[in-house]
């Protein structure tokens, strides 16, 4: 996948635990953990908005695009 999730890095910079972020954002630990570990295929804008508000960051701080070689198509 070309989109890399950097939520763990932003959380570490803010010294915020998974439990604390989960409580403040209002999503379950399991869903937030899956997001943090890149085990999701989609993120709701409302979830991204809440995470950015709590962590005081921009979506680009959490999401990174990495170009993949598409020659095999």
User: Which residue segments constitute the domains of the chain, with CATH numbers given?
Assistant: 3-65 (1.10.260.40)
Query: Which alpha helices (DSSP H) does 5-44 contain, by range?
Result: 7-14, 18-25, 29-36
pTM confidence score: 0.86
Using alpha carbons, list the distances in angstroms from residue 10 to 18, 44, 68, 69, 70: 11, 18, 24, 28, 30
Report which DSSP code applies to 72.
T
pLDDT at 73: 52
Note the pLDDT of residue 68.
77
Q: CA-to-CA distance for 11 and 68, rounded, in angstroms? A: 26
Longest dimension (CA), the chain: 43
pLDDT in tens, the chain (73 residues): 688 999 999 999 999 999 999 999 999 999 999 999 989 999 999 999 999 999 999 999 999 998 877 665 5
Name the helix (H) or strand (E) containing 3.
Answer: strand 3-5
């Amino acid at each position: 996948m070309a989109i890399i999730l950097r939520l763990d890095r932003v959380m570490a910079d803010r010294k915020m635990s998974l439990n604390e972020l989960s409580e403040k954002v209002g999503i379950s630990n399991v869903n937030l953990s899956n997001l943090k570990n890149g085990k999701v295929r989609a993120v709701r804008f409302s979830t991204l908005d809440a995470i950015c508000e709590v962590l005081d960051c921009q979506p680009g701080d959490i999401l990174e695009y990495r170009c993949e070689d598409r020659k095999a198509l």
